[in-house]
Amino acid sequence: AQRVTQPEKLLSVFKGAPVELKCNYSYSGSPELFWYVQYSRQRLQLLLRHISRESIKGFTADLNKGETSFHLKKPFAQEEDSAMYYCALSDNNDMRFGAGTRLTVKP
Amino acid sequence: ETGVTQTPRHLVMGMTNKKSLKCEQHLGHNAMYWYKQSAKKPLELMFVYSLEERVENNSVPSRFSPECPNSSHLFLHLHTLQPEDSALYLCASSQDLNPGGTEAFFGQGTRLTVV
Distance CA A40, CA A45 (A): 12
pLDDT tens readout for residues A12-64: 999 999 999 999 999 877 778 999 999 998 899 999 988 777 888 999 998 99
- List Cβ neighbours of A50 (8 Å cut-off, separation of 6 or more): A32, A33, A34, A61, A62, A63, A70
Interface with A, mutate which of B9, B43, B88, B102 (most A CBs under 10 A): B43
| Mean of pLDDT over chain B | 89
- Residue A98 pLDDT grade (very low, low, confident, very high; cuts 50, 70, 90): very high
Contact list, A45 vs chain B (CB under 8 Å): 105-106
Ramachandran sector of residue A81 (left: φ over 0; alpha: ψ -120 to 50; beta: rest): alpha
| A44 contacts chain B (CB < 8 A) | yes
Find the residue in A nearest to B5 (Cα).
Answer: A43
Task: Give the mean pLDDT of A64-93.
Answer: 92
Buried b (16+ CB within 10 A) or exposed e, A33-58: bbbbbbeeeebbebbbbbeeeeeeee
- Residue A85 pLDDT grade (very low, low, confident, very high; cuts 50, 70, 90): very high
What are the CA-CA distances from residue B66 to residues B23, B75, B81, B109 (Å)? 11, 6, 14, 16
Nearest Cα of chain B lies from the Cα of A33 at a distance, in angstroms, of 8
The pLDDT value recorded for residue B100 is 54
| B27 contacts chain A (CB < 8 A) | no
| Mean of pLDDT over chain A | 90
Q: Which residue in A43, A46, A96 is closest to B103 by CB distance?
A: A46
Distance CA B38, CA B57 (A): 18
- Residue B95 pLDDT grade (very low, low, confident, very high; cuts 50, 70, 90): confident
Question: Given a cut of 80, is residue B99 above it in pLDDT?
Answer: no
Angle at Cα A34 formed by Cα A78 and Cα B94, nearest 5°? 115
Nearest Cα of chain A lies from the Cα of B70 at a distance, in angstroms, of 19
Instruction: Determine, for residues B48 and A94 on separate chains, whether the beta-carbon distance falls below 8 Å.
Output: yes
Question: Given a cut of 80, is residue B40 above it in pLDDT?
Answer: no
Question: Given a cut of 70, is residue B1 above it in pLDDT?
Answer: no
The pLDDT value recorded for residue A2 is 65
Could you tell me which of B44, B7, B5, B41 has the C-alpha nearest to residue B25? B5
Q: How many CB contacts within 8 angstroms connect chain A with chain B? A: 56
- Residue A92 pLDDT grade (very low, low, confident, very high; cuts 50, 70, 90): low
Point out the least confidently predicted range of A35-39, A75-79, B3-7, B37-41. B37-41
Find the residue in B nearest to A44 (Cα).
Answer: B106
